[in-house]
Amino acid sequence: MSLGISYTKTGRVFGVGFAMLLGSVAAPAFAEEPTLNEEAFEASKQLYFEQCAGCHGVLRKGATGKNLEPHWKKTAADGAVTEGGTLALGQERLEKIIAWGTEGGMNNFSDIMSEQEIKDMATYIMMEPPKPPEMSLDQMMATRKIYVEEEDYPTEPMHGRNWENFFVVIERDVGKVAVIDGDTKEVLTHIPTGYAVHVLKASEHHSLEEPEQPGRFWYTMGRDGKMTKIDLWQTPDKMLVSEVKIAYDARDVAVSGDGKYVIGGGYWPPHFAIVDAQTMEPVKVVSTRGVNVDGDYVEEARVAAIYTTPNEPTWIVAVKELGQLWQVDYTDLDNLRIDKIDSAKFLHDGFFDPTGRYFQIAANASNKMVVVDTETHKLEAMIDTAALPHPGPGANWIDPNCGPVAGTTHLGVGTVTVWGNDPENRPDDAWKICYEVETDGPGLFVRTHPESDYIWADQTKHPEPEVQQSVQVISKETGEIVKTIQITEDEGSAAVHFEFNADGTEVWVSKWNLSDSKEPNGQIVIFDAKTLEEIGRIEGLYAPTGKFNVYNRSNHVT
């Protein structure tokens, strides 16, 4: 990718243009060592954005992943000073870490990067990180594109299909999402979106003010900051109706309860933007830089999860590095009310309890699940878990001993942690560990359905292929693993993410083809939710990862 960055012989920038995250106002003034030529530097910068920045940060100060600055120094409360950095680790050791991964939750990149890319990346992270530019409302507006005018939106579905059982599927590395008919298993279309879409959200049923046609409009957020609007009532060739870019690096999106606004959260710049849900015009941007729970100012305070609160006219915005959940009231954008709730670092992803009152979110680096009461706008609890909790869309169910519970997988260890989450009817069990299940390896996602007898957990973060390619099924009745299912034996592929169909009779699992992700050989493997037997495969997909069923997501089914 050409970024329009020109270098003098000394390696300093004198002309700047940018694409996505990677435009910068300054580049390293290269010393004698380490160095990269311009082509290798640009390629490594792009690859770092795609594969590394999410965990380690654009400025490389670390979050879920470790600090990757060339040199860092920390002073403890007792005055003790510790130092480290990538320069101290050196080229050879960094190459091994990148290639092989670590036991702490970093996967191996030997299947994703070539040997030369690994070598160049090791050199790149020993150089000073370039700082990307900011983004204004005017810059956002300039990126807006309309593919279908509002007056041309249909007043009823145009395809005669059961659209509430559609699945919207992320095709990660080709920058697309696929729309699949859950009844017929047909892939209806591949919609161009932002790079590596992280999350899709629909308009949802809301207890205060219903949007029109909940579940009809879907909004994606790519890692390149592009937000797209999808209309599932259109014919497949017209489902992409508009788009706008709200950041250079981003992760999440949510629709207001009344369906009027969409909010997108930036990793860089660290801000959130509020967009008109109909026109896709950006109307407000709010910086999230600030002072964290430790009292330190954080420049790269990134927005991780964003969710619409089902019972309040607010969004929950997780500011990762601050360790704060911001509850943002969208009823008066001119006088925006934000309640900042201190919790723990580094906030990542979460989900609501069945009542929609309590938001449960992982604070990865603190090994905690944080619980916020969205009715009082206050911290409810913090639950100690195993290393690096990561629930994804989460799971709620009824346990025979603890009553209503929720659970999470972990990036750092093969464990599913289960806790009580019904403070009104089961106060003695609420926010306390009910039990833990030891799995074969660390994973990304856990999922269930009210009609299912089981909880499904993946093991995508384990470095060994056989484990990485398998999922484990846990009984709600006994809390024990009842089946391990190997989704694929194809080299360079892994099993990841679950979604049930609308009535809970099927479970869909992704065969994620990491090593050749731009080829259409990814699959979705479908299982009978009762018998746990495979009943079909959907082929022809490009790196399928997350899957979102219209009915389940618009009705808060977890």
Type of residue at 548: F
pLDDT at 253: 98
Question: What is the spatial distance between Cα 545 and Cα 533, in angstroms, rounded to a whole number?
Answer: 21
Exactly one of 20, 106, 126, 402 is catalytic; which is it?
A: 106
Q: Which of 294, 230, 293, 306 minimizes the C-alpha distance to 267?
A: 306
The tokens of 388 are what?
């690096």
Residue 52 falls in the annotated catalytic set: yes
Residues 309/376, Cβ–Cβ less than 8 Å: no
Kindly list the distances between the CA atom of residue 51 and the CA atoms of 56, 102, 406, 494, in Å, as whole numbers in the listed order.
10, 15, 30, 16
Q: Which residues of 520-535 are buried (b: 16+ CB within 10 A; e: fewer)?
A: bebbbbbbebeeeeee
Residues 494/466, Cβ–Cβ less than 8 Å: no
Question: Tens place of pLDDT for every residue, the chain, 558 residues?
Answer: 222 222 222 232 323 333 333 333 333 443 457 999 999 998 988 888 778 887 888 888 887 788 998 998 887 878 888 898 999 899 999 999 999 887 666 878 887 899 999 999 999 999 998 888 899 999 999 999 999 999 999 999 999 999 999 999 999 999 999 999 999 999 999 999 988 898 999 999 999 988 989 999 999 999 999 999 999 999 999 999 999 999 999 999 999 999 999 999 999 999 999 999 999 999 999 999 999 999 999 999 999 999 999 999 999 999 999 999 999 999 999 999 999 999 999 999 999 999 999 999 999 999 999 999 999 999 999 999 999 999 999 999 999 999 999 999 999 999 999 999 999 999 999 999 999 999 999 999 999 999 999 999 999 999 899 999 999 999 999 999 999 999 999 999 999 999 999 999 999 999 999 999 999 999 999 999 999 999 999 999 999 999 999 999 999 998
Element counts in the chain: helices (H) and strands (E): 8, 39
What tens digit of pLDDT does each residue of 321-332 get? 999 999 999 999
Q: Give the single-character DSSP code of 163.
A: G
**Ordered domains of the chain (ranges, CATH):** 38-126 (1.10.760.10)
Side-chain half-sphere exposure of 303, counting CA atoms within 13 A: 35
Type of residue at 500: F
Residue 71 falls in the annotated catalytic set: no
Q: Look up tokens 């082929």; give the residue.
A: 539
Residue 556 falls in the annotated catalytic set: no
Q: Give the single-character DSSP code of 121.
A: H
pLDDT at 64: 74
Side-chain half-sphere exposure of 320, counting CA atoms within 13 A: 30
End-to-end CA distance of the chain: 40
Residues 415/439, Cβ–Cβ less than 8 Å: yes
Which residues in 324-480 belong to E strands, given as ranges? 324-329, 337-342, 347-352, 358-363, 368-373, 378-384, 389-399, 403-410, 415-420, 433-438, 446-447, 454-458, 470-475
pLDDT at 47: 87
Quick one: 191 exposed, middle or buried, by C-beta within 10 A (0-12, 13-18, 19+)?
buried
Exactly one of 52, 227, 369, 434 is catalytic; which is it?
A: 52
pTM: 0.84
Residue 462 falls in the annotated catalytic set: no
What tens digit of pLDDT does each residue of 88-122 get? 899 999 999 999 887 666 878 887 899 999 999 99
Rounded to 5°, angle at Cα 122 from 118 and 128: 140
Exactly one of 206, 271, 348, 410 is catalytic; which is it?
A: 348
Exactly one of 190, 198, 390, 410 is catalytic; which is it?
A: 390
Residues 462/436, Cβ–Cβ less than 8 Å: no
Residue 348 falls in the annotated catalytic set: yes
Residue 227's DSSP bridge partners are 221, 244
Exactly one of 20, 56, 140, 198 is catalytic; which is it?
A: 56
Residue 390 falls in the annotated catalytic set: yes
Question: What is the spatial distance between Cα 330 and Cα 328, in angstroms, rounded to a whole number?
Answer: 6
Residues 79/361, Cβ–Cβ less than 8 Å: no
Exactly one of 55, 140, 239, 402 is catalytic; which is it?
A: 55
pLDDT at 190: 98
Beta pairing class for 303-308 and 314-319: antiparallel
